[in-house]
């Protein structure tokens, strides 16, 4: 069993971080249903292994760009539940001072500029960041998260073309969750795998079981090494599934029931938890304890976040660049 090749602490950490994302998203869902959380929200239940697998293979000062579905990426990159939740509530001490909201969470000090909700919009930006890193001869890599829907945007072609001809240290990570909003991926491309598109740009592409956090971690580790050695970019396709609506207002009728059930059985947290319990040094009780800790942590963060005051009129022009 592969899980035995890693040390316990690392694996438990992966588990805890995935669970943190799940718990965070579930609680936010209830806040939305209660009417206390403003705006609509794009959530990532089911895709936790992608965010955690990728970010666990990066260094703290590597940079990522995210999308309209950014909570998981942000938590995986080390943002705290508090700074994100305050942002979601529009509080002035949120990670974007309450001016970004759900679709723009990020913290540049933690290697995550505010998420970019324009589909495909992060691709040229991550490419630009990678160009800066290369020109400054720095060892970091840029990682660009985007969805299957983004691969038909012009920005995908333009960004990857530049990344490729300039040999930039950037990993393009496509979370292929089979749908862009309600449109199935096979309605927008003839290619069975998005990773195959890498060939058109002369870069390496790889399709990875995106619900297997260790597989994602390994693929990213190798890709990051390649980028740091000057052999980037790399296109990773993580096959995954969103176990929730596209946004909170989406009833998700387009996901066939059998498909949803089949993917629910491949829930990344469930599968990894089961694999962990195969080890001699991990028991179900350990996982239960982690769950309690995570629940308490998120509950505490919500309490904190609810109390933060919104920005005032005097803050109108601070932290705004354009």
Partner 1 sequence: MPDLGTADAEIRIVEWLVEVGQSVARGEALLTAETDKAAIEIESVASGILQEVRVEAGDEVAAGEVIAVVKGEGGTEISTESATEPGPDTAVEAEVPEPQIAPAPAQPSGPKPSRKGMFARNREARARRPAGGRRHAGLRDNQRAVAKRLTRSHREIVPFDMVCRIEMTAAARQLEILETELQRRVGYNPFFISAIAGIARDIPCFLSYQLGDEVGTHEQANVGFVVGFDRALYIPVVHDADGKVPIDIGREVSRLALKAARGRLSVEECSGACVVVSDLSGYPIQSFNAVIPPGSSAAVAIGGVEEVPIVKDGTVAVVPAVQVTLTVDHRVVNGRNAAMLLTRLIESMEAL
Ligand X SMILES: Cc1ncc(C[n+]2csc(CCOP(=O)(O)OP(=O)(O)O)c2C)c(N)n1
- Shortest Cβ distance from residue 238 to ligand X (Å)? 11
**Can residue 180 be called a binding residue for ligand X (CB under 6 A)?**
yes
- Smallest CA-to-CA distance from 92 within 320, 294, 297, 311 is with 311
Buried/exposed code over 18-32 (b: 16+ C-beta within 10 A; e: otherwise): bbbbbbbbebbbebb
Question: What does 199 bind: partner 1, ligand X, Mg ion, none (CB cut-off 5 to 8 Å by kind)?
Answer: none
Indicate the DSSP class of residue 101.
Answer: -
- Shortest Cβ distance from residue 124 to ligand X (Å)? 12
Question: What does 68 bind: partner 1, ligand X, Mg ion, none (CB cut-off 5 to 8 Å by kind)?
Answer: ligand X
Residues that bind partner 1 (rule: CB under 8 A) add up to a total of 24
**Contacts of partner 1 in 50-109 (CB under 8 A):** 89
**Can residue 181 be called a binding residue for partner 1 (CB under 8 A)?**
no
Nearer to Mg ion, 120 or 169 (CB): 120
Q: Figure out which of the listed residues 106, 121, 147, 169 binds Mg ion, where binding follows CB under 5 A.
A: 147
C-alpha torsion sign, points 109, 113, 115, 120: negative
- Shortest Cβ distance from residue 63 to Mg ion (Å)? 22
Beta bridge partners of 137: none
Buried/exposed code over 212-239 (b: 16+ C-beta within 10 A; e: otherwise): bbbbbbebbeebbebbbeeebbbbbbbb
Q: Which residues are within 8 A (CB) of 66 and not within 5 positions of it... i.e. 6 or more apart? A: 73, 74, 105, 106, 112, 115, 116, 122, 145
- Strand 179-180 and strand 170-176: pairing? unpaired
Question: What does 251 bind: partner 1, Mg ion, ligand X, none (CB cut-off 5 to 8 Å by kind)?
Answer: partner 1
Binding mask 42-81 for ligand X (x = CB under 6 A): --------------------------xx------------
**Can residue 122 be called a binding residue for ligand X (CB under 6 A)?**
no
**Contacts of ligand X in 219-248 (CB under 6 A):** 246
* φ, ψ at 213 (rounded to 5°): -60, -35
Q: Which stretch binds partner 1 (CB under 8 A): 66-74, 165-173, 202-210, 250-258?
A: 250-258
Q: Which stretch binds Mg ion (CB under 5 A): 147-155, 277-285, 290-298, 300-308?
A: 147-155
Question: What does 181 bind: ligand X, partner 1, Mg ion, none (CB cut-off 5 to 8 Å by kind)?
Answer: ligand X
- Shortest Cβ distance from residue 32 to partner 1 (Å)? 7
**Can residue 251 be called a binding residue for partner 1 (CB under 8 A)?**
yes
* φ, ψ at 131 (rounded to 5°): -65, -45
Beta bridge partners of 235: 172, 205
Nearer to Mg ion, 262 or 292 (CB): 262
**Can residue 179 be called a binding residue for ligand X (CB under 6 A)?**
yes
Token output for 319: 């932290």
Residues that bind ligand X (rule: CB under 6 A) add up to a total of 14
The answer to whether the beta carbons of residues 198 and 170 sit under 8 Å apart is: no
- Smallest CA-to-CA distance from 115 within 136, 89, 146 is with 146
Given its phi and psi angles, is residue 83 left (phi above 0), alpha (psi -120 to 50 degrees) or beta?
alpha
- Shortest Cβ distance from residue 111 to Mg ion (Å)? 24
Where does this chain bind ligand X (CB under 6 A)? 68-69, 117-119, 147-150, 177, 179-181, 246
Where does this chain bind partner 1 (CB under 8 A)? 26, 29-30, 32-36, 38, 89, 248-251, 253-254, 292, 295-296, 299-300, 303, 306-307
């Amino acid at each position: 069993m592969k899980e035995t090749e890693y040390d316990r602490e690392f694996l438990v950490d992966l588990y805890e971080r995935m669970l943190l994302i799940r718990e965070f998203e579930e609680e936010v869902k209830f806040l939305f249903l209660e009417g206390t959380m403003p705006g609509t929200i794009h959530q990532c239940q089911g895709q936790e292994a992608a965010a955690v697998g990728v970010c666990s293979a990066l260094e703290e000062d590597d940079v990522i760009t995210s999308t309209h579905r950014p909570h998981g990426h942000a938590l995986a990159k080390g943002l705290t539940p508090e700074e994100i939740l305050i942002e979601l509530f529009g509080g002035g001490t949120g990670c974007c001072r309450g001016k970004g909201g759900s679709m723009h969470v990020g913290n540049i000090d933690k290697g995550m500029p505010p998420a970019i909700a324009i589909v495909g919009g992060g691709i040229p930006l991550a490419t630009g960041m990678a160009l800066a890193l290369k020109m400054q001869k720095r060892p970091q890599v840029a990682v660009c998260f985007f969805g299957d829907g983004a691969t038909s945007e012009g920005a995908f072609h333009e960004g990857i073309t530049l990344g490729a001809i300039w040999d930039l240290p950037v990993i393009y990570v496509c979370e292929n969750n089979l749908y862009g909003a309600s449109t199935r991926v096979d309605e927008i491309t003839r290619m069975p795998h998005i990773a195959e598109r890498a060939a058109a740009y002369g870069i390496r592409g790889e399709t990875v079981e995106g619900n297997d956090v260790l597989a994602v971690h390994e693929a990213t580790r190798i890709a990051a090494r390649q980028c740091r050695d000057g052999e980037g970019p790399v296109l990773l396709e993580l096959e995954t599934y969103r176990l929730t609506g596209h946004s909170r207002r989406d009833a998700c009728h387009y996901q066939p029931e059998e498909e949803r059930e089949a993917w629910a059985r491949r829930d990344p947290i469930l599968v990894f938890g089961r694999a962990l319990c195969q080890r001699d040094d991990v028991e179900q009780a350990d996982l239960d304890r982690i769950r309690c800790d995570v629940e308490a942590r998120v509950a505490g963060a919500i309490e904190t976040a609810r109390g933060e005051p919104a920005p005032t009129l005097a803050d109108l022009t601070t932290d705004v660049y354009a």
